[in-house]
Structure 1
Amino acid sequence: MTHYFISSTHGDDMCDGRTPTTAWRTLSKAGTIAFQPGDALLLERGAHFAGESLHLHGVIGAPDAPVTIGCYGAEDASLPLIACDGNGRWFEDYRAPIGGLPHRNRGEVSTAVLLRDCSYVHMRDLEITNRRIDDSDDHAFNDLEVMDRTGVAVIAENGGTSRGIRLERLYIHDVNGNIYDKHMANGGIQIIAHFPEDASTIETNIARFDDLRIADNVVRDTSRWGIAVGYTAYLNLIDHGGRDTDGNWDNTFDYGDGTIDDATIRRYGATNVVVEGNLVERAGGDAITVMYCDRPLVQRNVSREAAVDIRDDVYTATTNDRVAAAIWPWRCKNALFEYNEAYDTLNADHGNGDGQAWDADFGDGTEYRYNYSRNNSGGCIMFCNEKAVNSLFYCNVSERDLMGAIDIPRNPDAAVTGNVFIIADGADPLRLDRADGAAIIEGNTFIHTGSAPRCTDWHPHGSQVEYAGNVYIGFSTIPEEEQGDDPQAPKRR
């Protein structure tokens, strides 16, 4: 078990790098190491690696002897800073379509820390930035062609299942990526699986993740994503991708009735995923999203002011996917979100088609419990469209989320039970501009905070909503099915 040391201030690349007094100077020396289980790469506290990046390929530790990337030096000194600033470029290629425009599936990316086909690697206690410090590329910051940038990217590609990755106590900030591009390595932390280079091994060498933990990180001012986990070229198999007459994937998908087969998601998706204790502030788009994961656990995270760039005077090159919410899943099976907090998600009043704290999106069995939201511009919870199935939302608190607390656009089902909705003045229990889905709303407490009782539409045209056993405070009407035979009960108007 060997420790390797790097110091930007008094290291020397001519040394052996094996003690603090014989430390290397540059991060490029890490690429010369044949890491063995139990080895460690340590960056000196207070060091500043300007214009450098740390890219590791094929590093394999062991379950009981992971390779560690961290820091050394005086505990009162600052974390070592990797300030990539557009360097660390590599070519990303999913080798398959991954969804509609404007999202690319291949192109040049700048990444400060890249782990590619690695397993049992634990990284912690680093500061990471990737700023766009000038306009030398002749693009405005909100052009479609702006290069994707990442703080940390973890890629599974040619090495089969990537296991035992830990990203902990990182401080990632000022990552100025492409404001439109969702699924390239573009944002604070991106975990992605590509098809392998050898197309004949797509089924025998499946690139995916198992035993992944992203915990206790601070992510600020990143575009587009804060933390995104699990997007994969294998969505073409999970979502029954279509092929053209030449047998090539054609970027069409068949989601069926929205349910996700257990064996399929376990074979091709990410398993044993935990995202906990992270703080994400001012993400350009979404704060935290898990995608194509089997039973991920997302808990005790905080999102503040997500969707900074998702507004009609910034996101101008296209209107496609001008949507972002705080903490949510995409095409996951039985995703559990608990004890999370989401505040001030932005811009539902400025062109963001979402803006909610939570969103059950094209998932099967999404469950939210014991979460807290406040002042999110698009509401509290959305059950997103026809393929969001078996969704549960219970024992959560929504305080003055705007527009409408519950958003049901075309969803087939949702159980909303035992929650407290404190409705902002001028807002409604349902988001009325698109309430054409279905929900059972039972045992909740609705409290309107305005100075006058609120008259709202409990059954908007096209909706299929059933109410039972709810408490209504500060409303001049309640749902008809809740009025009973009490002649004093308020009537619908």
Structure 2
Amino acid sequence: MTIYYVNSATGSDRNGGTDQKSAFATLSKVESLGLKPGDSVLLAKGSVFNEQFDIKHSGTETAPIKIGSYGTGAAPVIHSGGDGIHSLYASNIVIENLKISNTGGAAIYGGDVTNWTVRNVEIAKSGMSQDAGAVTFRNSKNVTIEDSKISDVKGDGFWIEKVAVVKLLNNTVTSANGSTADAMQVNDSSNVLIKGNHLDQTHADSPKGVIVLVRATDAVVEDNVLTGGGFGISALAGKTVAIRDNDISGYHGYSWSFAVGLGDQGSARDYDISGNHIHDGAWGVAVSGATGSNYSLTNIKVHDNVFDDLTQAALKVDRPASGSFTNNTIETGVKATSISPAIIDAHTFSVSNNHTVANVETTLASTETKAAATTEPAVDSAVVAVHDNLKILTDADAARHGNLLENDSSDNDTLVLRRFGDETVGKHGLTVTGEYGVIHVDQEGNYAYTLDDTKLPDHGDHNGYVSESFSYGTDDGTSHHGDANTLTVFIHADGVLS
């Protein structure tokens, strides 16, 4: 397991590349190495690489190949006339803490890959050829993309096609531009989770929308904020699809614009559409389809949603379908349903127990107040973090181990290390290069600090010490965060620990 360093400003491809003072200069040099499981490639912050980075080798599940960054300052940037990062057939890859911009193709392209994680990657102005999504995965398995930002790209923000097990978590897409562009498109994929994303097509020049799901199987779309576009979620066809607890608004431009639509490109079965706040648009939920289509639309349940400020009905059903529209809240002035007479006569789509209110915001606020009054107040699970110190000698060559959380506490007796420095600690941990050494941490708070004595200043008689500090953040496994704290490493050059 080797760490390779790449610095476009100070490196040289004639160097060995295994420490910061002998960093490589180019990504093409890294491509020639034959990376092995557990290897890491760290790009110097502040570096700019004008080349496509091809990942040709695979890690293992327990020892993935990692592409990340080191140092201080702005994230390293990859520019390319082709793709930013490109890979075929590689497995067990982690890409994190980078920026990719001004690429002709995709910022990240993976085809026939397995077990990829992309996290905390910023993407801007990719897809100048308009032929690809900013992040594209095809014919792959186990792909997770999280905590990443995509802005002002040409083509879809995400293009996911024929991927088994895909998680798109806590990402931001702002303005995916182009005549066929959506913020996020997922085609012919299974076990899909789209959660916690903020997708905004308000100022995009695309006539399309925010999320497209085509022929999805076992998909969950929840807790997202979706704004703008010609539609919110177009779940055109699929089976076992849950669309819940999303905020969908600002979808305008067409008489057919909808917050949630299905039935236009295939059969749809077992849809649960619930808990969404749908507002400032045209149609609410559209159970529809292309003229002349004979797709099967069965067991479509639309319940416990809130609809307000719509120019059309909260529910539209104009193709043969079975399902129900129940227990929804609809603001006065919004038509509740628009259901074709033939479907009404067939008694296959029931409507019951829906509520009309004069003002949605007032009603919701009242409901929340009543709920709070009848429920025991939640105990804030406080997290207390205590400052940590590590004292080492300059002659201590081995890594020094400790745990950042052993002196911290929380009310529920659970602690997780979430951030270290300015980066997120993922499930595989995080390696950070400091001023005098390298430290690796994991989510359980364990750390290993290895001193690099070549970085120490010349103290003459070595009377004294130097130090460096790392900030970290914890939580209790939920949303209760503790105060940020620090680990300070004291490096004594006089051979005495005081």
**Contact 1:391–1:414 (CA<8 Å) still a contact in 2?**
yes
Give the match for residue 200 of structure 2. Answer: 304
Structure 2 gaps, min length 5: 290-294, 360-498
Share of identical aligned residues, percent? 20
Distance 1:7 1:373, change over 3 A: same
Q: Secondary structure at the match of 1:295?
A: strand
Matches of 2:182 and 2:8, distance apart in 1: 34
Pick aligned residue for 1:216 from 147, 153, 158: 147
**Contact 1:380–1:401 (CA<8 Å) still a contact in 2?**
no
**Contact 2:284–2:313 (CA<8 Å) still a contact in 1?**
yes
Shift of 1:82: 0.7
Shift of 1:310: 2.9
Pick aligned residue for 2:108 from 126, 130, 152: 152
Matches of 1:301 and 1:30, distance apart in 2: 33
Pick aligned residue for 2:312 from 408, 427, 444: 427
Give the match for residue 40 of structure 2. Answer: 40
Superimposed CA distance per residue, residues 374-422 of structure 1 (whole angstroms, 9 cap, x where no aligned partner): 2222221001326232142333223324111111223623523333232
Determine whether 1:82 maps to 2:81: no
Compute the RMSD of aligned alpha carbons: 2.4
Superimposed CA distance per residue, residues 289-326 of structure 1 (whole angstroms, 9 cap, x where no aligned partner): 22222222221112111682333xxxxxxxxxxxx331
Give the match for residue 237 of structure 2. Answer: 362
**Contact 1:371–1:396 (CA<8 Å) still a contact in 2?**
yes
Distance 1:301 1:439, change over 3 A: farther
Shift of 1:437: 4.8
Distance 1:401 1:407, change over 3 A: farther
Determine whether 1:187 maps to 2:159: no
Q: Which has the larger radius of gyration?
A: 2
Q: Secondary structure at the match of 1:275?
A: strand
Structure 1 gaps, min length 5: 87-109, 132-147, 157-161, 194-208, 232-269, 312-323, 346-354, 476-493
Determine whether 1:26 maps to 2:22: no
Q: Secondary structure at the match of 2:216?
A: coil
Shift of 1:155: 1.3
Greater strand share, structure number: 2
Give the match for residue 100 of structure 2. Answer: 128
Matches within 5 A, 1:38-437: 38-49=38-49, 51-57=50-56, 59-74=57-72, 77-84=73-80, 86=81, 110-131=82-103, 149-156=105-112, 162-179=113-130, 181=131, 186-193=132-139, 209-231=140-162, 270-284=163-177, 285-305=181-201, 308-311=204-207, 324-345=208-229, 355-377=230-252, 378-385=257-264, 387-410=266-289, 412-424=297-309, 426-430=311-315, 435-437=318-320
Shift of 1:440: 2.9
TM-score (norm 2): 0.64
Counterpart residue identity of residue 220, structure 1: S
Matches of 1:456 and 1:129, distance apart in 2: 45
TM-score (norm 1): 0.65
Distance 1:274 1:32, change over 3 A: same
Matches of 1:191 and 1:425, distance apart in 2: 36
Q: Secondary structure at the match of 2:136?
A: strand
Give the match for residue 402 of structure 2. Answer: none
Shift of 1:22: 0.5
Q: Secondary structure at the match of 1:15?
A: coil
Aligned length: 342
Superimposed CA distance per residue, residues 129-179 of structure 1 (whole angstroms, 9 cap, x where no aligned partner): 125xxxxxxxxxxxxxxxx611110111xxxxx322111110011114344
- Runs of 4+ aligned structure 1 residues displaced above 6 Å come to none
Shift of 1:43: 0.3
Counterpart residue identity of residue 227, structure 1: F
**Contact 1:361–1:385 (CA<8 Å) still a contact in 2?**
yes
Matches of 1:455 and 1:326, distance apart in 2: 24
Distance 1:457 1:372, change over 3 A: closer
Q: Secondary structure at the match of 2:125?
A: strand
